[in-house]
Amino acid sequence: MTDVAASDFRHSRRYVRLDTILRLRWLAVLGQLAAIFIVVQGLEFDLPVVPCVVIVGLSALLNLALQMAFNPMQRLEPAYAAALLALNIVELAGLLFFTGGLQNPFSFLFLAPVLISATALPIRLTIALGMLAVACASALVFLHLPLPWDADEPLMLPPISISASSSTAPTASSRPGRRPAWRWPRR
């Protein structure tokens, strides 16, 4: 054990490729469009489709602009990667505003950008993204349109569920290690 240098356990500074972020953003766009379509067409809930599709469309346009303007294999500075992840958080907050706030079952997705940051970005940026997610979740507790649901049987989630949704982001951003536990140190 003494043969292993201390530097083997330090995290090297890694930059995230733009392609990685864009693939995740395209996955989010497709998932969001599928969810909107299923809720409106399949479940026949009354949903403000136009604002939701506009938000998703703006995200798709940004993805296209980034793909055309930059080499997708380019490695992003941590601040730029964090800015794109912050945009994902704000976009999700916008969608959740129109679809029920933290009562929406997709509100747990605030975790995704924070967890991605925890694995690839410096801790200060991860904490900042966690704080942004908490701020957005806190705002959604008070400011949101009602969850589209059956008017005869309104969905009433217990307060513990809503508080759990708003407290997941700081928990995700508090993980000090960025390497998964299952990976061995590089030699």
16 φ/ψ angles, rounded to the nearest 5 degrees: -85, 135
pTM (global) more than 0.85: no
Classify 10 as helix, strand or coil: coil
Give me the pLDDT at residue 105, please. Answer: 86
Classify 16 as helix, strand or coil: strand
Task: Say which residue the tokens 């995230």 belong to.
Answer: 16
Q: Are 107 and 96 in contact (CB under 8 A)?
A: yes
Q: Are 99 and 145 in contact (CB under 8 A)?
A: yes
Q: Are 91 and 137 in contact (CB under 8 A)?
A: no
Percent of residues, the chain, with pLDDT higher than 90? 56
Distances (CA, A) of 112 to 8, 77, 139, 157, 167: 28, 19, 19, 22, 14
Q: Are 19 and 73 in contact (CB under 8 A)?
A: yes
Give me the pLDDT at residue 171, please. Answer: 52
Reported as a single tens digit per residue, the pLDDT across 118-146 is 988 999 999 999 999 999 999 999 998 88
Classify 102 as helix, strand or coil: helix
User: Average pLDDT, whole number, for the chain?
Assistant: 81
- The whole-number average pLDDT for the span 19-28 is 94
> What is the C-alpha separation between 159 and 161, in angstroms, rounded?
5
Has residue 62 got a pLDDT over 70?
A: yes
C-beta atoms surrounding 164 within 10 Å: 15
Q: Are 93 and 140 in contact (CB under 8 A)?
A: yes
Tokens representing 24?
A: 């995740």
> What is the C-alpha separation between 150 and 114, in angstroms, rounded?
33
Has residue 47 got a pLDDT over 60?
A: yes
Give me the pLDDT at residue 89, please. Answer: 96
C-beta atoms surrounding 160 within 10 Å: 8
